């Protein structure tokens, strides 16, 4: 995208989303005083109260922090996109997707009812699928979008199962109430399944190892999308879920160790992988993974230090990462490349971008006096306070933070100020709408670094209170906390980070050599997908033979075995019934049915067989008439007539019955006879006992006074059980449509 | 099949069956009959007509696409169910109107239940004909 030529960018498609996001931000911002004072807000509209599904929204420190990040960064990113995508054919579509995503995300973080939360959770999955696949004419974008959809979609299903278990265990789906019941989940027998399912949802969404690989691939999306979804919002949905369920799910060894191990492994792996990349956007994607790992790790604990660190780092990371993504987008737009080995010496040409990038990077690297420094100090303090293995956790943070220092240099120092390559000529500063985002986000990092109390009082403390309650007050955010262990760790971080930056090329070469040899998760994904496809194809071939006889055989054999086995296990003996008191008429009908059945079985002509079946059907209808069920009898007669007509129409075109295949008949006969015997025994057993006439009596007495009808069958159909009938006629219609579609669609080889 | 006798008979029969089906539909609440049976009878008339004169003529005689008839029937049935909500009753509660009712007789009873049965009639008619016509056109 060449932004040097002036394009008309003030368009409704570009600016309406900015207005929406901006006004939502203001609306949420005016709630800060209420929330900071320790209150919470709750909105409720009942939807399906009988199922416990309500549109209930809950605003406390945690959800407000997320809502502000989503709308604030959203407004800036949308302003940026208005210019970045100005003149793009599908700009309106992009705006629609991005706005829908933002609204789903807001819904997710504000939902109190877990089922509503799930709906929004899935909406973010779908909208992010559309956004990642925005450049749908490239194979890579389509594949990445599908991969993200599958990964987060599978996780979403697991989450739904977990939510239902939570609802049945706690008796409510309102998270604010569940969090008020200490131990209701942790002491339940269902705790482990609930935890595993919820974590499956959170880990896939927040791309924890081993579900991480979709996130770097999602960089196929346009840069504003990456800046928004894959730094500040969507991938943080998993983190949000962990924080939201923290009060009721945490505090066990399983929670502590699962989150610690997943978080630590993801963090270290991702920061090493980040150093391997030459594409600046990919490098940032891996540092996002690192941040998600760090947040997961911190949320595994319950101490005031770790949770304060998590709340602060959440904000810090969103600010600097969105800024840096936008900066990389600017570089890409102005030069056409994101390759770290090609971008040098642009600092003089684009000073504002360079300065914004520098400030954001200093925050990322954790230098004082930026907010990143406070975040890092808190992380170290939190690491020392973890309940698992303080030394290992602190070591993991040290490695990850040092690598962050190196990456910060690579992303925002080298392209602008380094003299180690040929400077790119003719670069221009980006237009102002694209600069606002990085500048504002970077300055926020600096502002909050100098005045940490503002952030602490407005957002961090209420967030911490929302996660761990008032058990332990949030730790103070300050730039100078005295000479302590975190400070020494910080100094060590900088020294290690500078060394890594100095040897970055050598390290990258070594890493590339190592990782190309190692098996890749991404290829494993392809293998898995191909395996599922071929497996289901083989299974389909096995059970869908296309031979109607086999389907019928399997169906009846299964039913026979199921009924026979139940009969054998549940009951004993065959009830003796006396010689039935039947008339001559009955005998004649009985004979007629027998004749019809015999004719159907022995004939070789299809028409004769159909006629034989018709005789059986008419015999059945006559039995209904003899037992005074005229409605059933009429229906039976009509259906029989229609079936014979329909079959006759088709049978005219079919060949004679194949005599070769008749060899299989003994088996068919066995099943048919077995079926008849089992059904007869069941009917005998049913009629042997006294018949419960409660329903019959009810309908007999209620039919006329309540439904004004004398024909009970009809009254049941259209009044007492009208809903059932409605379902049945819907099925009739669906069957008709399916048959229509089957007959109208030609086999594939016939198509031109 | 090009048989003059069959064509003439089928036409006459179709008319009679249609009238009979309406009769069965309307008497259904108090005597054997109803929407399902009525729909089947009407369908039989058209099926025979289609065999005698070809599906093209039968479609023309039907005037509407059978699929649309079935769809409309489902819509009417749903409407009959929703009607109850306007009177503050639960979904699918029967609503009755007795026109000209006196002490001795109930007058002319009209009801949402009848509308529902008409919906059933149309669904059955449309679905059976949709299947029959496309089957006959396919073979």
**A716: distance to nearest CA of chain B, Å?**
10
How many cross-chain Cβ pairs, A to B, lie less than 8 Å apart? 145
pLDDT of residue A3: 47
Find chain B residues with C-beta within 8 A of A722's C-beta.
81, 92, 94, 113, 116
Within-domain flag for A23: no
> Is there a contact between A97 and A130 (Cβ–Cβ < 8 Å)?
yes
Within-domain flag for A213: no
CB contact under 8 Å between B131 and A736, yes or no, is yes
- What value, to the nearest 5°, has the Cα angle with vertex A287 and ends A418 and A371? 80
Quick one: how far is CA A627 from the chain centroid?
A: 56
CB contact under 8 Å between B117 and A707, yes or no, is no
Report the 3 state secondary structure along A115-172. HHHHHHHHHHHHHHHHHHCCCCCCHHHHHHHHHHHHHHHHHHHHHHHHHHHHHHHHCC
Q: Which two tokens stand for residue A522?
A: 């991404």
Domain boundary among A513, A532, A551: A532
Name which of A621, A732, A741 to mutate to probe chain B: the one with the most chain B Cβ atoms within 10 A of its Cβ: A732
The torsion of the CA quartet A327, A332, A335, A340, rounded to 10 degrees, works out to 80
Name which of B89, B90, B135 to mutate to probe chain A: the one with the most chain A Cβ atoms within 10 A of its Cβ: B135
**Residue A373 CB partners (closer than 8 Å, separation 6+):** A363, A366, A367, A449, A479, A490
CB contact under 8 Å between B35 and A718, yes or no, is yes
Residue carrying structure tokens 């005037």: B63
- Integer Cα distance of A131 and B64 in angstroms: 43
Collapsing DSSP states into helix, strand and coil, what is residue A583?
Answer: coil
- Integer Cα distance of A305 and A473 in angstroms: 9
Query: Domain residues for A270?
Result: 252-532
User: Please, what is the angle between helix A61-84 and helix A461-468, to 10°?
Assistant: 130
Phi and psi for A667 in degrees, rounded to 5? -65, -45
Q: Which two tokens stand for residue B56?
A: 């093209």
- What value, to the nearest 5°, has the Cα angle with vertex A457 and ends A456 and A461? 70
The answer, for B45 touching chain A at a CB cutoff of 8 Å, is no
Find chain A residues with C-beta within 8 A of B70's C-beta.
732-733, 736
Q: Which two tokens stand for residue A149?
A: 């959809």
Collapsing DSSP states into helix, strand and coil, what is residue A603?
Answer: coil
CB contact under 8 Å between B120 and A630, yes or no, is no
R_g of chain B computed on alpha carbons: 18
**B45: distance to nearest CA of chain A, Å?**
10
Residue of B nearest to A737 (CA): B67
The answer, for B138 touching chain A at a CB cutoff of 8 Å, is yes
> Could you tell me the maximum CA-CA distance found in chain B, to the nearest angstrom?
60
CB contact under 8 Å between B78 and A744, yes or no, is no
CB contact under 8 Å between B120 and A717, yes or no, is yes
**A658: distance to nearest CA of chain B, Å?**
20
The answer, for A710 touching chain B at a CB cutoff of 8 Å, is yes
- Integer Cα distance of A54 and A703 in angstroms: 38
The answer, for A741 touching chain B at a CB cutoff of 8 Å, is no
**B22: distance to nearest CA of chain A, Å?**
15
> Is there a contact between A400 and A383 (Cβ–Cβ < 8 Å)?
no
- Integer Cα distance of A726 and A731 in angstroms: 9
pLDDT < 50 stretches in chain A: 1-4, 750-752
Within-domain flag for A344: yes
Residue of B nearest to A716 (CA): B29
- Integer Cα distance of A691 and A684 in angstroms: 12
pLDDT of residue A197: 93
Domain boundary among A465, A499, A532: A532
Report which of A436, A420, A418 is spatially closest to residue A352, judged by C-alpha positions. Answer: A436
**A705: distance to nearest CA of chain B, Å?**
12
Report which of A342, A368, A344 is spatially closest to residue A354, judged by C-alpha positions. Answer: A344
- Integer Cα distance of A273 and A207 in angstroms: 14
Within-domain flag for A373: yes
pLDDT of residue A749: 53
CB contact under 8 Å between A743 and B138, yes or no, is yes
**Residue A443 CB partners (closer than 8 Å, separation 6+):** A359
Q: Which two tokens stand for residue A556?
A: 């009846």
Q: How does pLDDT run across A303-360, given as a tens digit for each residue?
A: 888 888 888 888 888 988 899 888 888 888 888 778 777 777 777 788 888 888 888 8
**Which DSSP string corresponds to A21-39?**
HHHHHHHHHTTHHHHHTT-
Find chain B residues with C-beta within 8 A of A735's C-beta.
127, 131
Quick one: how far is CA A313 from the chain centroid?
A: 25
The answer, for B54 touching chain A at a CB cutoff of 8 Å, is no
Q: State the total domains in chain A.
A: 2
**A630: distance to nearest CA of chain B, Å?**
6
- Integer Cα distance of A729 and B72 in angstroms: 12
A369 vs A379, A451, B25, CA distance in Å?
A: 16, 10, 85
Q: Which two tokens stand for residue A379?
A: 């992380």
CB contact under 8 Å between A743 and B120, yes or no, is no
pLDDT of residue B76: 93
Give me the half-sphere count of Cα atoms (radius 13 Å) on the Cβ side of residue A462. 24
Q: Which two tokens stand for residue B117?
A: 């049965």
A502 vs A8, A52, A368, CA distance in Å?
A: 44, 59, 21
B47 vs A257, A644, A738, B50, B71, CA distance in Å?
A: 71, 11, 19, 5, 19
**A743: distance to nearest CA of chain B, Å?**
6
Find chain B residues with C-beta within 8 A of A631's C-beta.
32-34, 37
Q: Which two tokens stand for residue A416?
A: 């602008």
- Please tell me the total number of residues recorded for chain A in this structure: 752
A519 vs A213, A515, A516, A660, CA distance in Å?
A: 13, 8, 8, 55
CB contact under 8 Å between A740 and B116, yes or no, is no
> Is there a contact between A325 and A442 (Cβ–Cβ < 8 Å)?
no
**A720: distance to nearest CA of chain B, Å?**
8
The minimal CB distance from B44 to the residues A635, A642, A710 is found for A642
CB contact under 8 Å between A711 and B29, yes or no, is yes
Binding-face residues of B in 89-118 toward A, CB within 8 A: 91-92, 94, 96, 106, 109, 111, 113, 116-117
Q: How does pLDDT run across B4-57, given as a tens digit for each residue?
A: 888 899 899 999 999 999 999 988 888 888 888 999 999 999 988 988 888 888
- Region of A519 please: left (phi>0), alpha (psi -120 to 50) or beta: beta
Query: What burial class does residue A728 get, using C-beta atoms within 10 Å of its C-beta: 0-12 exposed, 13-18 middle, 19+ buried?
Result: middle
The answer, for A651 touching chain B at a CB cutoff of 8 Å, is no
Q: Name the DSSP class of A58.
A: E
Report which of A322, A391, A400, A392 is spatially closest to residue A366, judged by C-alpha positions. Answer: A400
Domain boundary among A473, A504, A532: A532
The answer, for B30 touching chain A at a CB cutoff of 8 Å, is yes
A400 vs A5, A203, A394, A407, CA distance in Å?
A: 41, 19, 10, 10
Domain positions in chain B: 4-138
> Is there a contact between A241 and A200 (Cβ–Cβ < 8 Å)?
no
CB contact under 8 Å between B135 and A646, yes or no, is yes
The answer, for A646 touching chain B at a CB cutoff of 8 Å, is yes
The torsion of the CA quartet B115, B121, B127, B130, rounded to 10 degrees, works out to -110
pLDDT of residue A72: 92
Residue of A nearest to B133 (CA): A740
Model confidence pTM above 0.80: no
The answer, for B136 touching chain A at a CB cutoff of 8 Å, is yes
Name which of A644, A706, A712, A718 to mutate to probe chain B: the one with the most chain B Cβ atoms within 10 A of its Cβ: A718
Start-end of H helices in chain B: 4-27, 35-53, 55-62, 66-86, 112-138
CB contact under 8 Å between A708 and B40, yes or no, is no
**B92: distance to nearest CA of chain A, Å?**
6
- Integer Cα distance of A430 and A296 in angstroms: 36
The torsion of the CA quartet A243, A193, A117, A101, rounded to 10 degrees, works out to 80
The answer, for B43 touching chain A at a CB cutoff of 8 Å, is yes
CB contact under 8 Å between A739 and B130, yes or no, is yes
């Amino acid at each position: 995208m060449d932004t040097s030529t002036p394009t008309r960018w003030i368009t409704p498609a570009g600016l309406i989303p900015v207005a929406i996001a901006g006004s939502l931000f203001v609306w949420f911002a005016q709630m800060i005083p209420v929330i900071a004072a320790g209150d919470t807000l709750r909105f409720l509209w009942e939807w399906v109260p009988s199922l416990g599904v309500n549109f209930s929204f809950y605003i406390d420190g945690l959800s407000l922090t997320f809502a502000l990040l989503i709308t604030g960064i959203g407004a800036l990113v949308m302003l940026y996109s208005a210019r970045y995508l100005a003149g793009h054919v599908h700009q309106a579509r992009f705006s629609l997707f991005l706005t829908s995503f933002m609204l789903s995300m807001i819904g997710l973080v504000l939902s109190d009812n877990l089922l509503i939360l799930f709906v929004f959770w899935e909406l973010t999955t779908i909208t992010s699928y559309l956004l990642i696949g925005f450049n749908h004419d490239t194979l890579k974008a389509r594949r990445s979008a599908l991969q993200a959809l599958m990964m987060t979609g599978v996780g979403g299903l697991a989450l739904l199962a977990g939510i239902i278990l939570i609802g049945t265990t706690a008796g409510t789906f309102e998270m604010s109430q569940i969090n008020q019941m200490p131990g209701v989940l942790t002491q339940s027998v269902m705790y482990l399944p609930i935890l595993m399912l919820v974590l499956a949802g959170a880990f896939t969404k927040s791309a924890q190892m081993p579900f991480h690989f979709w996130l770097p691939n999602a960089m196929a999306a346009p840069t504003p999308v990456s800046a928004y979804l894959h730094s500040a919002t969507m991938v943080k949905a998993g983190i949000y879920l962990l924080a939201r369920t923290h009060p009721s799910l945490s505090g066990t060894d399983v929670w502590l160790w699962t989150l610690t191990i997943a978080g630590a492994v993801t963090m270290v792996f991702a920061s090493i992988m980040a150093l391997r990349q030459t594409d600046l956007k990919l490098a940032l994607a891996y540092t996002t993974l690192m941040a998600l790992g760090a947040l997961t790790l911190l949320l595994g604990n319950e101490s005031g230090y770790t949770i304060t660190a998590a709340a602060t780092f959440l904000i810090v990371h969103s600010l600097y990462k969105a800024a840096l993504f936008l900066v990389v987008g600017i570089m890409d737009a102005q030069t056409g490349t994101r390759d770290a080995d090609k971008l040098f010496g642009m600092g003089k040409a684009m000073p504002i971008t360079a300065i914004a990038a520098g400030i954001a990077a200093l925050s990322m690297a954790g230098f004082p006096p930026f907010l990143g420094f406070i975040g890092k100090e808190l992380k170290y303090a939190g690491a020392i306070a973890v309940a698992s293995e303080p030394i290992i956790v602190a070591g993991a943070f040290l490695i990850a933070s040092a690598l962050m220092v190196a990456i910060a240099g690579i992303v925002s120092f080298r392209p602008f100020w380094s003299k180690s390559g040929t400077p790119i000529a003719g670069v221009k500063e980006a237009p102002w709408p694209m600069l606002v985002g990085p500048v504002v986000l970077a300055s926020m990092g600096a502002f909050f670094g100098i005045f940490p109390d503002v952030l602490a009082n407005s957002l961090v403390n209420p967030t911490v209170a929302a996660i761990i309650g008032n058990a332990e007050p949030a730790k103070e955010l300050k730039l100078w906390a005295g000479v302590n262990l975190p400070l020494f760790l910080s100094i060590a971080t900088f020294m290690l980070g500078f060394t890594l930056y100095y040897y970055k090329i050598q390290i990258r070469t070594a890493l590339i050599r190592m990782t190309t040899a190692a098996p890749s998760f991404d290829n494993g994904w392809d293998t898995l997908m191909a395996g599922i496809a071929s497996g289901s194809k083989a299974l389909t071939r096995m059970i869908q033979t296309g031979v109607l006889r086999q389907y019928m055989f399997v169906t009846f054999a299964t039913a026979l075995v199921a009924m026979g086995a139940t009969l054998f296990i549940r009951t004993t003996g065959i009830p003796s019934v006396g010689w039935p008191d039947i008339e001559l008429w009955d005998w004649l009908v009985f004979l007629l049915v027998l004749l019809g059945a015999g004719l159907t079985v022995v004939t070789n002509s299809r028409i004769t067989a159909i006629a034989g079946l018709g005789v059986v059907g008419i015999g059945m209808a006559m039995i209904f008439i003899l037992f005074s069920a005229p409605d059933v009898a009429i229906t039976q007669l009509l259906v029989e007539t229609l079936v014979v007509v329909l079959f006759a129409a088709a049978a005219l075109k079919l060949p004679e019955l194949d005599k070769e295949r008749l060899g299989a008949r003994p088996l068919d006969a066995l099943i048919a006879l077995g079926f008849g015997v089992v059904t007869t025994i069941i009917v005998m057993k049913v009629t042997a006992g006294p018949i419960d006439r409660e329903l019959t009596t009810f309908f007999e007495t209620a039919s006329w006074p309540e439904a004004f009808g004398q024909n009970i069958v009809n009254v049941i159909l259209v009044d007492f059980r009208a809903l059932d009938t409605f379902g049945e006629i819907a099925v009739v219609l669906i069957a008709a449509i399916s048959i229509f579609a089957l007959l109208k669609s030609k086999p594939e080889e016939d198509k031109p | 099949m090009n048989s003059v006798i069959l064509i003439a008979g089928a036409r006459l029969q179709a008319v009679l069956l249609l009238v009979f089906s309406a009769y069965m539909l309307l008497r259904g609440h108090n005597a054997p009959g109803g929407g399902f049976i009525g729909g089947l009878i009407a369908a039989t008339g058209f099926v025979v007509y289609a065999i005698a004169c070809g599906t093209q003529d039968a479609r023309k005689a039907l005037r509407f696409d059978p699929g649309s008839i079935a769809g409309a029937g489902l819509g009417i049935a749903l409407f009959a169910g929703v009607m109850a909500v306007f009177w503050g009753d639960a979904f699918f509660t029967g609503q009755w109107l007795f026109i000209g009712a006196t002490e001795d007789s109930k007058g002319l009873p009209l009801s949402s239940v009848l509308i529902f049965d008409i919906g059933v009639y149309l669904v059955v008619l449309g679905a059976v004909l949709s299947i029959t016509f496309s089957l006959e056109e396919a073979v």
